[in-house]
Amino acid sequence: MLSYATETRDSIERYVIAAIVDAREVYTDQKWLVWADHWIAGRDRSFASARKAHRMTREACERESAEMADRAHDGLESDDIAFGHTETAAELAAWAAGLALVAASVVPDPIAGIRRMEFALRTRLASIRTAEGAKSIRPSLAGRAVALARRAASMLLPSDVPQTARL
């Protein structure tokens, strides 16, 4: 039963990531693209961020629908478009964000916070530049920061709880 649940969760996650990657190819809103990158990397898979991304794309869909209705009203739409509705980039992005919204956990994920802290530490430590000729101290600082983040993550995991109680 546990392996079936894990396999199902993994396949849902792969499906959501595939939808986001497909939408990234055509949708160009920078805020949504940043959200998509964070979701794919696993840095922010929160319900709140998925809801915000979904809301942004639904508003873009409404704007596109209003523009299409104005063009149809003005008679500017060609006869080819009348045969079928093609999915717009905003609709594709809204679909991907909606899937992420459904798959997102409502409960805050403390491990995601640790991943964000680790990413921020690595980014900041990578930007530190030492004077020319001086010995670089970045590897030791980065190693300490990563060790601190891993230690914090291990303290947050309920390792003392028996496996049967975690289900």
Cβ count within 10 A of residue 79: 6
The reported pLDDT for the residue numbered 27 is 92
One-letter identity of residue 127: S
Our separate counts of H helices and E strands in the chain read 7, 0
The alpha carbon of 150 is separated from its chain's Cα centroid by a whole number of angstroms, namely 22
The reported pLDDT for the residue numbered 86 is 72
Instruction: Burial-class residue 103 by CB neighbours within 10 Å (0-12, 13-18, 19+).
Output: middle
DSSP 64-106: HHHHHHHHHHHT-S-TTGGG-PPPPHHHHHHHHHHHHHHHSBS
The reported pLDDT for the residue numbered 160 is 46
The reported pLDDT for the residue numbered 70 is 82
pTM, full prediction: 0.56
Which residue positions in the chain have pLDDT lower than 50? Answer: 1-2, 77, 79-83, 130-134, 138, 157, 159-167
The reported pLDDT for the residue numbered 167 is 41
Assign 46 to helix, strand or coil. Answer: strand
The reported pLDDT for the residue numbered 20 is 93
The reported pLDDT for the residue numbered 114 is 77
Q: At what angle do helices 2-24 and 30-41 cross, to 10 degrees?
A: 150
Region of 59 (left: φ > 0; alpha: ψ -120 to 50; beta: rest) is alpha
Encoding tokens for residue 81? 């478009």
The reported pLDDT for the residue numbered 52 is 93
Region of 133 (left: φ > 0; alpha: ψ -120 to 50; beta: rest) is left
Encoding tokens for residue 156? 């947050």
Note the pLDDT tens digit of each residue in 15-26.
899 999 999 999
